[in-house]
Amino acid sequence: MKLIVLDRDGVINQDSDQFIKSPDEWIPVPGSLDAIARLNQSGWRVVLASNQSGVGRGLFGMDMLNAIHAKMVDALAQAGGRLDAIFFCPHAADSTCDCRKPKPGLLRQIESRFNVDLNGVPTVGDSLRDLQAGVAVGCRPYLVLTGKGKLTRDNPDLPAETLVFPDLAAVVDSLLD
């Protein structure tokens, strides 16, 4: 099975320091939806793994998060794409949960749900914590320069094996080449 793990904010959709709190604030990064559709059409399973601490902070509830995800899923369907699963951590940054990236809990959940080993599986993020969570379970880290990616690229803790691309579409071009 060909599998890829994507972060949401800054990879699929534009990021905001004030959080994405409503469907109106969810705006896709140009080319990201078509990139996911191309992966799907090439036999890849696409899974989302996203920190959503706005829930834990009380900025929005689960109903609103579900509405945001519904908009994303609908927009993907219109582009001919789909997500095979959405995994998220709803806990605030000060939580001791094991699912908030950079901890690998969300990725372990993906391994369990899909009965796979994520060793070598591409994980795409725009922040250091996305990449660190993936590396912790053996994923191959891909940094996109959308979202917080340009700042992350200069972080001295960036995993040495990280591949850097302008955006998700460029990552997909590389994977399907």
Per-residue model confidence as pLDDT tens digits over 36-89 = 999 999 999 999 999 999 999 999 999 999 999 999 999 999 999 999 999 999
Instruction: Give the pLDDT score at 1.
Output: 86
Alpha helices, H only, 51-92? 53-56, 62-78
* Active-site position among 9, 15, 130, 167: 9
Strand partners, 86: 48
Which domain covers residue 87, as residue numbers?
A: 2-176
Residue 91: pLDDT over 90: yes
Determine what percent of the chain falls in helix, strand and coil, rounding each to the nearest 5. 40, 20, 45
Look up 126 and say whether it is catalytic: no
Is pTM beyond 0.95 here? Answer: yes
* DSSP β-ladder status, 2-6 and 122-125: parallel
pLDDT in tens, 108-154: 999 999 999 999 999 999 999 999 999 999 999 999 999 999 999 99
The Cα–Cα gap between 79 and 50 comes to: 21
Look up 94 and say whether it is catalytic: no
The total number of structural domains that make up the chain: 1
Contact present, 5 and 122 (Cβ < 8 Å)? yes
CATH number of the domain enclosing 35: 3.40.50.1000
* Active-site position among 7, 15, 130, 167: 7
Q: For the beta carbon of residue 14, count every other beta carbon within 10 angstroms.
A: 16
Contact present, 121 and 104 (Cβ < 8 Å)? no
